[in-house]
Chain A
Amino acid sequence: MKKFVTKSILFAAPFVVLALVEIFALPLDFFTFRVWESVKVDTLKNILPGYFYPRISITKTEQGDITHHTVYALEKTVEWHTDQFGYRNRDDTRAPEIVIIGDSNTVGTGLTQSDTLSVALESRLGVRVYSFAPASLNVFLRDRQLTHDKPRVVIVATIERDVPSLRTLKPELTYPSVLERKFMELRSAIKGFRSLQGVAVPVDRLFKANMLHYYRASVRRAITMVFLHGEKIPPPKQNIPSMHFLFGDLAVQDVPPDQLERALTVVKSYNDLLKSMDIRFIFLPIPNKENIYHDLLPSKKKPVFLGQTIDAMRKKGIETIDLQSAFDEAYRRNGPVLYLPDDTHWSAEGVRIAAELLADAISGKKEGKISPKSR
């Protein structure tokens, strides 16, 4: 038995050492091409409070999510800060007056912290804006630490392609009983323990195994490149624009009417719930990159779903920001500067336009006038 245990320990030692080196010696983002993968919570979602590791500050040179590790990749240096709750905000003692619930666009993937939507809106309105992303309204309702200090405005931002699949509200979160509320508060309080977070983050990183995934990807790339392309990455084909798309023509397919109906019902339920809580609700659908730059796609087809959605939402009395018209106009005027060329997400300019429209809507100004492109 002793011999077996000794040999087992010896056999496992290299793997244990490598794991320890990754977690305790190397920087958090050592094995990732962008910050997102290095700070995202993987396994311990029920122990850590937010979507990202709490209290993280990283400056990293990133590549876009479509063309990373290729000749098309564009490098950009970004700053990331997460707060004690594990969302991309700087710690601030002030209670947030505005909360933006959204996806990776709201997080500001590919952008530095100062270019994110919450920061851009905060600088325009002078009140604290909290980026609660990526998350759904259900998660927001569950997180009692934030809903304790009730915000004045809740913005739900979502990329166009996810509008049909917006999460329906969970009844147990919408109108929780006293016991459920107490349980959620207790859960949030436990998740807030700094010492627990200090243990949970390394454990989560161990499960995430970024080093392993990095080498798996490297082996795959090496085999593919060496054998298929003779150690050379193929040069860009002629006449292909430098703008890259994740879904291409697939993103401009017609959406069935029942999906629009479903989205309407869901967003209406958000609106009604928040109204009943005396919170102002604003819906911000973000156009797909393929929607605004449809002329760069082979089909050159302009999708109509988002336009229909905005009209239908407004008819239902839901305050909706028309980013589609604003982006179309900005694209005509300034060219393709609204989205990152090598990434699925919007650029600082896209964020700036959205922030202006939101600021105007919140402060009561007439929507629709966008200032010329900032230099």
Chain B
Amino acid sequence: MLFNSVEFLLFFIGIGFVYFAIPARFRWMLLLFGSYVFYMSWEPSYAALLGLITVVNYYLAIRLGRSITVRGKKTILALTVTINAGLLFSLKYLGFFAESLRTVFHHHGVAAAIPVFSIALPVGISFYTFKIMSYTIDVYRGKLEPERNIGLFALYVAFFPQLIAGPIDRSTRLLPQFREEQMFDYRRVSDGLKLILWGFFQKMVIAGTLTIMVDLVYSKPGQYDAPTLALATLFFAFQIYCDFSGYSDIAIGIAQVFGYGSINNFERPYFSRSIPEFWRRWHISLSTWFRDYLYIPLGGSRISIPRWHVNIMIVFLVSGLWHGANWTFVVWGAIHGCYYILSVLTKSAREKTVATLGLVRLPRLHQGIQMAITFCLVTFTWIFFRANTISDAFYIVSKLFTGWGSASETAGTNTLASFVSSHFFEFCVAIVSITVMGMVHTLQVRGNVRNMLRSKPIWLRWAAYYAIVAAILLLSNFGSKQFIYFQF
């Protein structure tokens, strides 16, 4: 059941009406039941695995809470991390590493009988595994008591708006909310629905339209010239943002309708003025997870400089690998790690350059340049994220740096002009809708857009809502349903 499907719409309306019709004490049960129905709609066997993981972690967290010795606590924590990470590794990475080993042995002429692993990856496993691990570590750290109500814990793990692709909400934030009595609140529900509508606009109009062009170019990069590859890469930067931010907005909006606040996953990341800032604004629930449960345990920044560099690289390489079992993601993470380290190392030199150029006196221009450079750096890394293979990625990079010149360079490839004219409708929709999104983001800098709308007359508000619905109905790509982050 995809968010952008009629089945989900009916499911959501049904659950929503029953939720507010039944007594408050039964609502968590309805949500738990609904979450499992939602997950079973993908594949019933996934729900069995989810249930098993939930029960095991519930029990281990209880034992962790009861344990009074540090050693005992550490042992149980190690066991839970091993179980969860091991399960994720075996389902997601075993095949990848076995294949990589086979390649290495083959390259060195060694005949090794490494088995082939081809396991279907349960949808959402990367997200709910991280959710469970954050809960267990928080219990270990004493940030919260282990949850005694297995139903509430199961709901925390399987909460359907966040189940498939996050946000990776923390137990310290979500579990207490499940215990509160959520009354129907008109403003909260209508705000949630507006957020859902905006999420659909981002996903279906912008990301859906961009998908057509990006997929075409990235499926056969050798058939296109450098400007077309550059355009496709630029479009992918917006596609992945709108796809995932759209999903997150829908998920957060749904949770808000039921009365639960979620962590915000995106904070206008393409307005970032540096790479560290980008990572404070992009996929916030994941980057803060890595910060709290990997970076800080590794020692954070309170260690020697070389060791800190190593820690940063570890975090970004793991982050890259988390996205998928492919070397393209590892390279993507590695580049971001290098960016991050370089941005810190070059800080004083950059400040001196700014002072020399007199950009301090022109803060707007300075900010604009910073944003443009950061955006270009991030967009460059998306090549590795999106390319089907590492060789495709390197081909695109080489083409972007060398393929802008002579006619011989572009011979036999589709030019930008022919590409745009053959996808003129999609191109127009993309440009206009990205501009609209940019305007909304600019307004968001000044404050909450929904609050701004509230102060406007009803005809204007409703006109805006109808315009978004009309755009979704008339301009979206109905063929593009799958969300990018579902594969992770």
**A residues engaging B (CB < 8 A)?**
1, 3-4, 7, 11, 14-15, 207, 212, 215-216, 219-220, 223-224, 227-228
User: Among B425, B465, B469, which residue has its beta carbon within 8 angstroms of that of A220?
Assistant: B425
Residues of B within 8 A of A215 (CB): 474
For B, the interface residue count at a CB cutoff of 8 angstroms equals 18
A1 to B189, CA, bound (A): 10
**Whose C-beta in chain A lies nearest to the C-beta of B429?**
A223
A11→B20 contact, CB < 8 A: no
**Whose C-beta in chain A lies nearest to the C-beta of B428?**
A223
Known: A223-B425, A227-B428. A216 touches B474 (CB 8 A): yes
B184 within 8 A of A: yes
Enumerate 28 A-B pairs (CB-CB under 8 Å) in ascending A order: A1-B20, A1-B184, A3-B186, A4-B184, A4-B190, A7-B190, A11-B462, A11-B465, A14-B466, A15-B469, A207-B6, A212-B473, A212-B474, A215-B474, A216-B473, A216-B474, A219-B475, A220-B425, A223-B424, A223-B425, A223-B428, A223-B429, A224-B424, A224-B425, A227-B424, A227-B428, A228-B421, A228-B424
B81 to chain A, nearest CB (A): 44
Secondary structure of the B side of the interface?
Answer: helix
**A-B residue pairs, 10 tightest by C-beta:** A220-B425, A1-B184, A219-B474, A223-B425, A4-B186, A224-B425, A216-B474, A228-B424, A224-B424, A223-B428
Total of A-B residue pairs, C-beta within 8 Å: 33
13 further interface pairs, Cβ-Cβ under 8 Å (given A216-B474, A224-B425): A1-B20, A3-B186, A4-B184, A4-B190, A7-B190, A14-B466, A15-B469, A212-B473, A215-B474, A219-B474, A223-B428, A227-B428, A228-B424
A7 to B194, CA, bound (A): 13
**Whose C-beta in chain A lies nearest to the C-beta of B462?**
A11
**Whose C-beta in chain A lies nearest to the C-beta of B184?**
A1
A228 to B190, CA, bound (A): 41
**Whose C-beta in chain A lies nearest to the C-beta of B426?**
A220
**Whose C-beta in chain A lies nearest to the C-beta of B183?**
A1
Residues of A within 8 A of B428 (CB): 223, 227
**Whose C-beta in chain B lies nearest to the C-beta of A217?**
B474
Contact pattern, B 179-217, Cβ under 8 Å of A = 1, otherwise 0: 000001010011000000000000000000000000000
A7 to B189, CA, bound (A): 12
**Whose C-beta in chain B lies nearest to the C-beta of A5?**
B17
A1 to B190, CA, bound (A): 11
Residues of A within 8 A of B189 (CB): 4
Residues of A within 8 A of B20 (CB): 1
A107 to B469, CA, bound (A): 38
Residues of A within 8 A of B429 (CB): 223
A219 to B189, CA, bound (A): 33
Interface centre among B6, B421, B424, B466 (most CB of A within 10 A): B424
B212 to chain A, nearest CB (A): 12
